[in-house]
Structure 1
Amino acid sequence: MPRSRYKSLVDTFAADIRSARLAPGTRLPTHRQLAASEGLALVTASRVYAELEAMGLVSGETGRGTFVRETSLPPGHGIDQPDVTAGMLDLNYNYPSVPGQAELLRTALRQLALSGDLESLLRYQPHGGRLHERASFARHLLTRGLNVPAERVLIVNGAQHGLTVALMSLLQPGDVIAVDALTYPGFKALALALHLEVLAIPVTESGPDLDALQRLCRSRSVRAIYSMPTLHNPLGWVMSLEQRQQLIAIARAHDLHIIEDAAYAFLVENPPSPLAELAPERTVYVSGLSKNVAAGLRVGFIAAPAQTIAALERMIRVTAWNTPGVMTSIASAWLDDGTVSRLEVQKRQDAQARQIIADEQLAGLHSVRHPFSYFVWLPLAEDARAEQVVTALLREQISVSTAQPFAISTHVPHAIRLALASVEMGALRGALAKVKWVVEACA
């Protein structure tokens, strides 16, 4: 049996298990039955099951047979809340922090307690935020190359809430949205919950295949594009000005909304203009303070065309009414006094230092990444299987993600994503060395 045929059978079983077409607890054919049905040698059939077991997808029980396991990976390895046990090094989720952030919060709470505005924070806020706070975010957006008046900025409960509000305002169930074939898992979950049809735009290492996007728009009634032009998650690209202009030309030709996700854009120095600056009439720009300040702050912001503001505000009211006054007050104060800008500089330096460690420890492995990003995409060798790599790393107390949570298309590449921001520098060095060892051993 050719090696590609053997691997294809392993992949078919793995896909059926991950998609629940083979439910947990299902007894698989015996080795002899598999060999007979597939025309394999018995030793080859045994190898298929051995590899599935090494990937954590099945378990063999002496005298009973081979069964589909309850889960292939522990909770937290998709889009769920991370469940990192004691001693586990988390390279799955990014929650970057730099020294002194807890003291910043302590000081901010003291200052807030001494202010004369506390009583107003106990009441409902305007749905899109108080105008002076929206102005703080508008001034901050100028540092990102986006010139927008405060009236077109809305404050939300984190970037994920911003994406929810944007999709609920602009699209209806059944509408078609074009998305990079590898994209942010939180967007995948949101599109599924809102019953949107997602079409995959093929990706390259330098950006989306925009010719393919053009063909999609000609053949289907696409209503919107979701894009991360500045520091794509997970591939780390920064689209060139020419790519942005081409994407906008397609959107204008087919009258599409553009949803621009800028969660990691702060890490890139002097990027091309945001899509929202180049096409302000059709772009909703979404970002937040989870990565550049702290994940627990849960304050985000939207910059949107004037004609969409009323609909966006209605959806903020429907989903959350308004952002918490205390959190928003702290966030706007940090924007105004330069705290956010200083943290962004520190985190750019931190991300660059972590990428240098990754460059040293992963030398010899093909990787896709930006030198200032907080993640690394590691495509695996043709014969390697991502689940096997992840399972082996879990035994080493290292948590990483496969491509599965990021994949829009039916083809899921065998790759892993490494989040670099959530472990101490020294621990990161050792963890990445183990990643390289496991990846090479599984090749």
Structure 2
Amino acid sequence: MTTWLPDISEGSGPLYIRLADQMEKAIFDGQLPAGGKLPPQRNLAYDIGVTIGTISRAYSLLHERGLVSGEVGRGTYVLEHNEAAPQEHQDPVTASLAGTRPLHTPEDKIRFDSTAAPDVGQSEIISALLQDIMRDHPLEVAGYTRSFPDRWQQAGVSWLAYGDWAPQADALVPTLGAHAGIMAIITVLTNPGDRIVFEHMTYSQVSRAAGLVGRRISLVASDEYGVLPDDFERACVQQHPKIAFFMSSAQNPTLATMPEDRRRAIAEIARKHNVWLIEDNLYGAMDKKDIPLIAALAPERTFVIDGLSKSVSAGVRGGWVACPPHFAQRVRIAHKMITGGLPFLLAELSSRLVLSGEAEAIWDRCRIEINAREAMARDVLAGYDFKSSPDIPFLWLKLPEPWLSATFKNAVYADGVLLDDEDEFRAGRSDRITHRVRLGFSQPRSRQEVARGLKIVRSLLDSGSAGYDSVA
């Protein structure tokens, strides 16, 4: 029988949850090894000075999390576990960098590893707007941003509006890109040790950043139509997350779009379990469907994220967060604390792009280019299994036998193409294997370069892995 005892002075929140969290950490640390027997509930209650009811609730929570099993008369035993250790027990920088792309990209490679807006000549428009801003606001550009003009919020209202839904101007926070906005929300609503729900495959930079600041990850299953509500509820019941991060439309990388009934189910589950929702609509806004946002169904708990990176210009770093009532000021302060502040030049540029109509005009040109490149990809890769959408700058390719996604990524890199394997999108350690890669086609400078890269990918798919020698 183990002699390990929890320290009830640590942590915050209900005592039974703190006890369960400490036991979970001890299990992953090896202090409570697999097969080991937990102390009898009555004994542990006496040893740490709490009621047996508190111990019973903590043990029940561990059972719900799949960490222990118990039988009447035999006691409670620690189960074998395959999940990764909680993020806070790993070196956070190492954990956050796992699977990320190289910081420096060789110039001789065709870039199929990015989905930023294609070059359609927007630099000329941006250059003219920058000159106007420098002329109109020389003092503001030279100093720190001290105030947020109403036009910055109005630009966000215009850009984030979707179908019949539009945010209120006083609920908008301009941000230094979508990612910074998401991290500001996480900072406001969670503390280190709190859990955030992600799909197994998603925009993993958020989950890695969350792990870097001490948040824990809970994974939920998805299918071709997005998040499975039953599994989301399981996670809510068993792990008590504070926030869930979802892309309801044109999910990255799977391109799944949740139907309305599923969005309603997600909204009701979040409401029932008091879970906040972050709805990333970066790609959804590009692939407009006649389906309401989750924010329209649960406005009291849903934050909406959108920006200019995929449809106008990634280098502008323009983004907005639409907040539930009474949260905008808190998110704005958190954004300033974690980014150092919003540069006036970029915020003003973003607002002028939107309010002048230039952002929409650029997006129209980007859409034409993306449509042409997606059609080219469908033609070159015909016969293989992949998901794509005309207005979305990437596809999700299923690899034929016997390819593994990491091996294919290495093979196509050797032939001159950069793309992302499935590990790039894992929000946490997962046993879900898809044997897929994401191929983004917006960054090559010309359609000719896209065609050349697609033909390299096609040739490798046709030849099979026998033609690739991974040993130097």
Q: Indicate the TM-score class for this superposition, using the shorter chain for normalisation.
A: 0.7 to 0.9
Paired amino acid for 1:440: D
Equivalent residues of 2:120, 2:366 under 8 A apart: no
Matched residue, 1:422 = 443
Matched residue, 2:118 = 97
How far apart are residue 152 of structure 1 and its match? Answer: 0.5
Instruction: Indicate the percent of aligned positions where both proteins have the same amino acid.
Output: 21
Aligned counterpart for 1:335 among listed residues 325, 329, 354: 354
Deviations 1:164-209 (A, max 9, x none): 1011111111111211110002112212112222121112122122
Matched residue, 1:169 = 188
Deviations 1:357-391 (A, max 9, x none): 11111111111233321111112235322222112
Indicate whether 1:413 and 2:425 are aligned.
Answer: no
Indicate whether 1:346 and 2:346 are aligned.
Answer: no
Equivalent residues of 1:390, 1:399 under 8 A apart: yes
Paired amino acid for 2:192: P
How far apart are residue 413 of structure 1 and its match? Answer: 3.2
Matched residue, 1:261 = 280
Matched residue, 2:266 = 247
Matched residue, 1:285 = 304
Equivalent residues of 1:400, 1:416 under 8 A apart: yes
Distance across 1 between alignment mates of 2:300 and 2:309: 27
Indicate whether 1:83 and 2:65 are aligned.
Answer: no
How far apart are residue 143 of structure 1 and its match? Answer: 5.0
How far apart are residue 211 of structure 1 and its match? Answer: 1.7
Indicate whether 1:113 and 2:157 are aligned.
Answer: no
Matched residue, 2:170 = 151
Q: 1:142 to 1:369 in 2, by over 3 A?
A: same
Distance across 2 between alignment mates of 1:321 and 1:138: 24
Q: 1:139 to 1:281 in 2, by over 3 A?
A: same
> TM-score scaled to structure 1, two decimals?
0.78
Equivalent residues of 1:77, 1:400 under 8 A apart: no
Paired amino acid for 1:414: H
Deviations 1:35-76 (A, max 9, x none): xxxxxxxxxxxxxxxxxxxxxxxxxxxxxxxxxxxxxxxxx9
Paired amino acid for 1:174: G
Larger deviation, residues 346-355 vs 328-337:
346-355
Aligned counterpart for 1:274 among listed residues 260, 284, 293: 293
Distance across 2 between alignment mates of 1:413 and 1:366: 12
After the TM superposition, which parts of structure 1 deviate over 4 Å for at least 4 consecutive aligned residues?
Answer: none
How far apart are residue 275 of structure 1 and its match? Answer: 1.8
Distance across 2 between alignment mates of 1:380 and 1:166: 36
Distance across 2 between alignment mates of 1:358 and 1:82: 27
Paired amino acid for 1:95: A
Equivalent residues of 2:118, 2:369 under 8 A apart: no
Q: 1:266 to 1:314 in 2, by over 3 A?
A: same
Paired amino acid for 1:439: L
Matched residue, 1:139 = 158
Distance across 2 between alignment mates of 1:261 and 1:163: 9
Q: 1:265 to 1:319 in 2, by over 3 A?
A: same
Distance across 1 between alignment mates of 2:146 and 2:297: 29
Secondary structure in 2 aligned to 1:265? coil
Equivalent residues of 1:267, 1:347 under 8 A apart: no
Distance across 1 between alignment mates of 2:117 and 2:280: 18
Equivalent residues of 2:120, 2:365 under 8 A apart: no
How far apart are residue 439 of structure 1 and its match? Answer: 2.4
Q: 1:145 to 1:350 in 2, by over 3 A?
A: farther
Q: Flag structure 1 segments of 5+ consecutive residues without an equivalent.
A: 1-75
Matched residue, 2:453 = 431
Matched residue, 1:325 = 344
Equivalent residues of 1:88, 1:398 under 8 A apart: yes
> TM-score scaled to structure 2, two decimals?
0.73
Equivalent residues of 1:226, 1:259 under 8 A apart: yes
Distance across 2 between alignment mates of 1:151 and 1:87: 47
Q: 1:271 to 1:345 in 2, by over 3 A?
A: farther
What are the within-5 Å matches in structure 2 for residues 12-411 of structure 1?
Answer: 78-80=99-101, 82-115=103-136, 117-126=137-146, 129-143=148-162, 145-408=164-427, 409-411=429-431
Matched residue pairs, number?
366
Deviations 1:100-149 (A, max 9, x none): 2111122112222332x32133333247x322311221133235643222
Distance across 1 between alignment mates of 2:333 and 2:348: 22
Q: Flag structure 2 segments of 5+ consecutive residues without an equivalent.
A: 1-96, 466-472
Equivalent residues of 2:160, 2:306 under 8 A apart: no
Secondary structure in 1 aligned to 2:341? coil
Paired amino acid for 1:120: E
How far apart are residue 163 of structure 1 and its match? Answer: 1.0
Q: 1:348 to 1:273 in 2, by over 3 A?
A: farther
Distance across 2 between alignment mates of 1:441 and 1:200: 36
Equivalent residues of 1:388, 1:442 under 8 A apart: no
Matched residue, 2:60 = none
How far apart are residue 159 of structure 1 and its match? Answer: 0.7
Equivalent residues of 1:365, 1:436 under 8 A apart: no
